Amino acid sequence: MFYLFIFYLRAFRKSCNDVIESRRAIRNLNTMYPDLTAEELANVTDTTCIICREEMQVQQSIKRLGCQHIFHKNCLRSWFQRQQTCKLILKESID
Q: How confident is the model at residue 88 (pLDDT cuts 50, 70, 90)?
A: low
List the one residue out of 65, 66, 67 whose CA is nearest residue 75.
65
Task: Name residue 70's beta-bridge partners.
Answer: 64
The domain locations on the chain are: 2-82
Model pLDDT for residues 24-68, shown as the tens digit of each residue: 888 888 888 888 888 988 888 888 998 999 999 888 889 988 888
Cα separation of the two ends of the chain: 35
Assigned architecture for domain 2-82: 2-Layer Sandwich (3.30)
